[in-house]
């Protein structure tokens, strides 16, 4: 199975996407993690059964456009954009797969418009990081500082494509060569100065506002989608016990722990993750 490349115009913002399967299949949108791109699902997508799977490069990532807004990439901004893409696809109701940051966006989207999301598959993520209301001024101030710092940084250029891949292999979340290479094919550009990762530098900045615990609970109380959570025993979520405990305690959500690391849905364990998601998507008796 080979993906097709599609593009969406979201109020002047051009979003690139990879589309797997056939129109008319079970509609699914897959949302990648922070500084990744649509190729994050290249290994998983061919293993998902009877799906019409659209994997967008979220704003600022991969081949998608960058937001002109002088500020951080707050996860709630993505929600309107993914619903706009769904509207263009003619999807009134669809499933969401999300990895890491994409899982946070998927969770909030399902709480925002529960009538539109039939299923959630959250991989290594779910609840966004929270802050107490009284922390809001400093959270905003730090976000503004980090935006300025990100814009002032010199872009890193690499003399060869292979060295850009190596840089991703050795990043904050280390990846194997095959995983880093597919991300590079979607996210590395070339100029006369060399090869570079084309994500918007403002993505490095922290959110301008963090939801409170009570606000996150309000979103969870509105989620009606069947929800499957997949966590890695050696992943990021396992290290943040507050988040993993929150996911474990979510009523009516199925939780599966698998061996592996933060990007367990990619090359080495895509078959295990796909098996879990395929089983989850079979439960469609109300569709």
**Is 100 assigned a catalytic role?**
yes
Q: How far is Cα 269 from Cα 201, in angstroms, rounded to an integer?
A: 30
The two beta strands, 51-56 and 13-21, are antiparallel
State the DSSP H helix or E strand holding residue 31, giving kind and residue range, or none if neither: strand 26-31
Q: Are 91 and 23 in contact (CB under 8 A)?
A: no
Instruction: Given the residues 40, 64, 100, 207, select the one marked as catalytic.
Output: 100
Q: How far is Cα 40 from Cα 31, in angstroms, rounded to an integer?
A: 9
Q: Are 66 and 60 in contact (CB under 8 A)?
A: yes
The two beta strands, 4-10 and 26-31, are unpaired
Residue whose token pair is 């507050």: 242
Residue whose token pair is 């893409």: 85
What region, left, alpha or beta, does residue 35 occupy, with left being phi > 0 and alpha being psi -120 to 50 degrees?
Answer: left
**Catalytic residues, which ones?**
100
């Amino acid at each position: 199975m080979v993906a097709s490349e599609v593009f969406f115009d979201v109020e002047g913002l051009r979003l690139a996407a990879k589309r797997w399967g056939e129109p008319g299949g079970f509609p699914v949108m897959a949302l990648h993690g922070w500084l990744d791109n649509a190729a994050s699902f290249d290994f998983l997508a061919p293993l998902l059964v009877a799906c019409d799977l659209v994997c967008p490069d979220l704003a600022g990532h991969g081949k998608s456009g960058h937001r002109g807004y002088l500020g951080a990439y707050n996860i709630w901004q993505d929600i309107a954009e993914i619903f706009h893409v769904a509207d263009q696809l003619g999807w009134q109701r669809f499933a969401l797969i999300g990895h890491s940051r994409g899982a946070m966006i998927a969770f909030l989207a399902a709480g925002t418009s529960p009538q539109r999301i039939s299923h959630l598959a959250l991989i290594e993520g779910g609840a966004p990081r929270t802050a107490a209301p009284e922390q809001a001024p400093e959270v905003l101030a730090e976000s503004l500082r980090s935006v300025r710092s990100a814009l002032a940084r010199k872009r890193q250029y690499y003399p060869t494509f292979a060295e850009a891949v190596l840089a991703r292999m050795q990043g904050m979340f280390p990846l194997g060569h095959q995983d880093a290479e597919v991300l590079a094919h979607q996210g590395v550009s070339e100029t006369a100065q060399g090869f570079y990762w084309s994500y918007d530098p403002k993505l490095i900045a922290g959110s301008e506002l963090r939801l409170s615990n009570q606000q996150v609970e309000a979103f969870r109380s509105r989620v009606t989608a069947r929800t499957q959570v997949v966590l890695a025993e050696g992943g990021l979520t396992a290290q943040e016990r507050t988040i993993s405990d929150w996911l474990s305690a979510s009523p009516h959500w199925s939780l599966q722990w698998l061996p592996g690391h933060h990007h367990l849905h990619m090359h080495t364990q895509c078959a295990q993750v796909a098996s879990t998601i395929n089983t989850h998507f079979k439960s469609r008796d109300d569709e």
